[in-house]
Homo-oligomer: A and B are copies of this chain.
Amino acid sequence: MLLSKSCEYGLRAALHLASVAPGTYVPIRDVSTALGIPYHFLAKIAQAMIQQKILASTRGPHGGVRLARAADQITLNAIVLALDGPAIFEECVLGLPGCGTQQPCPLHDQWAPARERVRAMFVETTLDELATRIQTQGFRLADLTSTP
C-alpha cells in the first residue's frame, strides 16, 4: 500500500468536499456515510487536516468541515504531506538510510525517476481537477461493490 489508510480516507474526504458542496460546511458524519469510512476514524483524520490548514471546521448545528482554500489551490500533494509526510517521496526502495546520489543503492538510479513520477502526479493534480471529473464523468469515490 503506497498511502496509509488515513491518507486514502483523507484524500477521498477532500475530494468529496470539493465535488459535493464546495464552500459549505458538511458534517463529518455525512462524509463518513457517503464514502463508507468509519466515522470516529475520519473525525480524527479531519482534525489532523484542520491543524494542517487543509480543512476548516465549525461546531454545533449546521457545523462540519469544508476545504480551507479554493479547490484549485489544494494539491493532492499537500494532503499526502499533511497525513503521511514526505517519506514516500524520499525513501530508498531498499530501506537504506542516506541513500541518494552521494551513496546510492544499486536500484537508486532506476527508482529515483519512477518515484519522481509518482510525486509529480500528486504535485500537479488539484482537488478542483478531480472534482470536475467526478461531476462530469461520474468517477467514483466510494466502494460500489458493497452497495450495488
Contact = CB atoms under 8 A, between A and B. Distances in A.
Interface stretch (A22-30, A40-48, A66-74, A104-112): A104-112
User: How many copies altogether?
Assistant: 2
A111 B107 contact: no
Nearest to A117: B114
Contacts of A96: 140-143
A60 interface: no
Given A3-B93, A107-B125, A110-B121, 15 more contacts: A1-B91, A1-B95, A2-B2, A2-B91, A8-B95, A9-B95, A11-B94, A94-B141, A97-B143, A98-B143, A98-B144, A103-B140, A105-B140, A106-B134, A114-B117
